[in-house]
Amino acid sequence: MRLLMLGGTEFVGRAVVEAALAAGWDVTVFHRGRRAAPAGARTLHGDRTAPGGLAALTEGEWDVVVDTWSAAPRAVRDTARLLAGRAGRYVYVSSCSVYAWPAPAGYTEDAPLVGGASAGAQQSDYARDKRGGELAVLESFGAGRSVLVRCGLILGPYENIGRLPWWLNRIARGGPVLAPGPRDLPLQYVDVRDLAEWTLGAAEGAMSGAYNLAGPPGHTTTSGLLDACARVTGGRAELRWTEPGAILAAGIEPWTHLPVWVPPGSGLHDALHGADVSRALGAGLRVRPVEETVADTWSWLRSLGGVAPQRSDRPVVGLDPAVEAKVLGR
């Protein structure tokens, strides 16, 4: 298989490239040249936001294009138009954020979508940008040659958002750690490598359509995730399980101050940890244990000296130590 990866040097794109190379695919990576592509991939340079930035893609043919773009949809539109006659299938890594907010627990790929999106739009907000990217792909490749991968929470090595790296670093420091309850709160996420392998399988199998991509709700729990972090980092931390009410009363914001966690019984939890993923599971999605995701992310993070890369277009996540200490009564 001949893969054109748009991006390919960070997080999801890098995982896709590494999985394709491991499977023996012929891989071309198109990126801006700010970071090195994985060894073994052919490299083309260009900036999709600049005039003439797609010049390096005017020649060549590929079986599949994989695109993770999350800014102005018009960049996806221009790329898809250019490649429509020379690529077999276009896989767009989208997001469950494209559903009308807040999506109810158990929402499927047929749930209502966010309004106001356009394939030719400039950058606006994340949800409409992702939906606009979907529309751009459908415009040039049609429903039969497009795969829309609507991801939930993505964790694993190369994460450049900071969620799991923050928990690992915090727990590695040891001492009392504010652990948001309840312990058995179900979580839903996908390991980036499982996402990459499923994406390649979708391309090989000539699949099409939209898929909610994450593990099943409750594949792990808050306790399962944080206990795994404590084990792999050496067990020096004391997880202090705290009721959601006390956390919210302290002004701590779910998802950002305490990454991954959102309180139960809220529309936020249903939308972020309650997608119906039966279609993807039926189409071959395999989900590795949370212990493997945590351990491999810790190994990667340690190889970087504990400092994970951070996307400039995403807010820094994590809890102020002073706030944590106050809530814990220290």
User: Contact 16/200 with Cβ under 8 angstroms?
Assistant: yes
pLDDT band at 312 (very low <50, low <70, confident <90, very high): confident
Quote the CA–CA distance of 283 and 145 in Å, as a whole number.
16
User: Contact 168/237 with Cβ under 8 angstroms?
Assistant: no
Burial tier of 59 (Cβ tally within 10 Å: 0-12, 13-18, 19+): exposed
Q: Is residue 209 part of a domain?
A: no
Q: Judge if 147 and 165 occupy the same domain.
A: no
pLDDT of residue 245: 95
Quick one: tokens of 91?
A: 């896989």
Q: Is residue 318 part of a domain?
A: yes
Q: Judge if 142 and 239 occupy the same domain.
A: no
Quote the CA–CA distance of 297 and 159 in Å, as a whole number.
8
Q: Judge if 31 and 128 occupy the same domain.
A: yes
Model pLDDT for residues 127-136, shown as the tens digit of each residue: 999 999 999 9
**How many other β-carbons are positioned within 10 Å of the β-carbon of residue 197?**
21
Scanning 39-91, the segments in alpha helix (DSSP H) are 73-83
pLDDT band at 224 (very low <50, low <70, confident <90, very high): very high
Report percent pLDDT > 90 for the chain: 96
User: Contact 70/134 with Cβ under 8 angstroms?
Assistant: no
pLDDT of residue 89: 98
Q: Which residues contact 125 (CB under 8 A, 6 or more apart)?
A: none
pTM over 0.85: yes
Q: Is residue 192 part of a domain?
A: no
Q: What's the structural domain count of the chain?
A: 2
Q: Is residue 281 part of a domain?
A: no
Report the sign of the C-alpha dihedral through residues 68, 71, 74, 79, in that order.
Answer: negative
Report cis status (omega within 30 of 0) of the bond before 217: no
Model pLDDT for residues 165-209, shown as the tens digit of each residue: 999 999 999 999 999 999 999 999 999 999 999 999 999 999 999
pLDDT band at 296 (very low <50, low <70, confident <90, very high): very high
pLDDT of residue 261: 97
* Average pLDDT rounded to a whole number, residues 140-152: 98
Domain around 228:
161-187+219-275+289-327
Quote the CA–CA distance of 126 and 214 in Å, as a whole number.
19
Q: Judge if 107 and 176 occupy the same domain.
A: no
pLDDT of residue 320: 97
pLDDT band at 330 (very low <50, low <70, confident <90, very high): low
* Average pLDDT rounded to a whole number, residues 85-98: 98
In 3D, which of 258, 256, 238 has the Cα closest to residue 247?
258
Q: Across the chain, what does the average pLDDT equal? A: 96
Scanning 184-289, the segments in alpha helix (DSSP H) are 192-204, 222-232, 244-249, 267-273, 278-282
Q: Judge if 144 and 180 occupy the same domain.
A: no
**How many other β-carbons are positioned within 10 Å of the β-carbon of residue 55?**
13
pLDDT band at 23 (very low <50, low <70, confident <90, very high): very high
Q: Judge if 124 and 241 occupy the same domain.
A: no
Final residue before a domain boundary, out of 107, 127, 151: 151
**How many other β-carbons are positioned within 10 Å of the β-carbon of residue 69?**
21
Question: What CATH code is carried by the domain that includes residue 7?
Answer: 3.40.50.720
